[in-house]
């Protein structure tokens, strides 16, 4: 299995699609893994060389104990690009992955062609919110946070309509190492990019589910106001994992943006 030794850990990744096409790097949310992007693979593989990876603390990547930071997670992404010899890439990240994308485009503008930020935020306070989730995970394991997470991530109609898709994500949450979940919660808890993202120059698309209770459309608008020329697409009848709940609309919006002349 392909692992890259980067930034002090082993990072799992997969490459698919058009090997001679432009590169698209996908970054997963908290408590998921690279398979959260499975619904996009058929469409994205036709147009791009797609690189997916399991974030530090998730999936088949290492999950060291201790608090992580958004800068650490960003350094992981840069290390993976360096390992693969990729000088410049499109980037698409959801939730935590979008937080990494913001930092990547801020600190390493030469590495980012076009930027897609999905169901994410530049600041996720207050800190007490994260203390509660961390304590639940540390005392009850991921079973202690899974039900509330599923309720935030999918609307009730979708949960009833597609229980198989929901079950797949539930399994990802339950299989996330507690150390990795807690480490990334600490990274989000300590993040504040509201001022720094004003330096982003990459063409940017922001995508958010209209019914996302976590990273709301209001938070998406806050990012849009900070990044010059950023576009905002709000997907109807979708909560936090809008790429799954509104797969076709999500794919169409991202592809139209990435392929625009």
pLDDT of residue 125: 86
Mean pLDDT in residue range 55-76:
98
> Can you tell me the distance from the alpha carbon of 220 to that of 119, in angstroms, rounded to the nearest whole number?
7
Q: Tens digit of pLDDT for each residue in 189-210?
A: 999 999 999 999 999 999 999 9
> Can you tell me the distance from the alpha carbon of 101 to that of 194, in angstroms, rounded to the nearest whole number?
14
Q: Tens digit of pLDDT for each residue in 6-25?
A: 999 999 999 999 999 999 99
Q: Tens digit of pLDDT for each residue in 176-193?
A: 999 999 999 999 999 999
Mean pLDDT in residue range 132-157:
98
> Can you tell me the distance from the alpha carbon of 98 to that of 29, in angstroms, rounded to the nearest whole number?
8
Asked if omega into 126 is within 30° of 0 (cis), the reply is: yes
pLDDT of residue 64: 98
Does this model's pTM top 0.85?
yes
> Can you tell me the distance from the alpha carbon of 44 to that of 219, in angstroms, rounded to the nearest whole number?
26
pLDDT of residue 161: 98
Residues 6 or more apart whose CB falls under 8 angstroms from that of 46 comprise 17, 18
pLDDT of residue 127: 83
pLDDT of residue 11: 98
Mean pLDDT in residue range 20-44:
98
pLDDT of residue 126: 85
pLDDT of residue 249: 98
Long-range Cβ contacts of 145-151 (<8 Å, 24+ apart):
145/31, 145/173, 145/181, 146/170, 146/173, 146/174, 149/31, 149/173
pLDDT of residue 233: 98
1 pLDDT band (50/70/90 cuts)? Answer: confident
Out of 58-62, 97-101, 126-130, 139-143, least confident range: 126-130
Domains of the chain: 3-258 (3.40.50.1820)
Residues 6 or more apart whose CB falls under 8 angstroms from that of 126 comprise none
> Kind and range of the H or E element at 256?
helix 247-258
Written in H, E and C, the secondary structure of 29-62 is CCCCCHHHHHHHHHHHHCCCEEEEECCCCCCCCC
* Phi, psi dihedrals of residue 206, rounded to the nearest 5°: -110, 125
Q: Tens digit of pLDDT for each residue in 104-140?
A: 999 999 999 999 999 999 999 888 889 999 999 999 9
pLDDT of residue 261: 84
Instruction: Give the chain's mean pLDDT.
Output: 97
pLDDT of 29 over the 90 cut:
yes
């Amino acid at each position: 299995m392909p692992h890259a030794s980067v930034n002090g850990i082993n990072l799992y990744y997969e490459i698919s699609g058009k090997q001679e096409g432009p590169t698209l790097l996908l970054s997963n949310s908290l408590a998921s893994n690279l398979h959260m992007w499975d619904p996009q693979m058929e469409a994205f593989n036709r147009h791009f060389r797609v690189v997916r990876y399991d974030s530090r603390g998730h999936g088949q990547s290492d999950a060291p104990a201790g608090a992580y930071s958004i800068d650490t997670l960003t350094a992981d992404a840069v290390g993976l690009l360096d390992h693969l010899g990729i000088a410049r890439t499109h980037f698409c990240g959801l939730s935590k992955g979008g937080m990494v994308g913001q930092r990547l485009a801020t600190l390493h503008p030469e590495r980012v062609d076009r930027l897609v930020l999905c169901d994410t935020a530049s600041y996720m306070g207050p800190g007490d919110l994260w203390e509660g989730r961390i304590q639940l995970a540390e005392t009850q394991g991921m079973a202690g946070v899974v039900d509330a997470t599923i309720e935030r991530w999918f609307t009730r109609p979708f949960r009833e309509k597609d229980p198989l898709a929901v079950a797949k994500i539930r399994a990802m949450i339950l299989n996330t190492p507690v150390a990795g979940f807690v480490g990334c919660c600490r990274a989000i808890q300590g993040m504040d990019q509201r001022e720094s993202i004003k330096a982003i120059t990459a063409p940017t698309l922001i995508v958010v589910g209209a019914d996302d209770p976590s990273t709301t459309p209001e938070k998406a608008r806050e990012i849009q106001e900070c990044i010059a020329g950023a576009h905002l697409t709000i997907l109807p009848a979708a909560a936090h994992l809008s790429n799954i709940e509104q797969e076709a609309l999500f794919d169409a919006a991202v592809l139209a943006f990435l392929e625009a002349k």
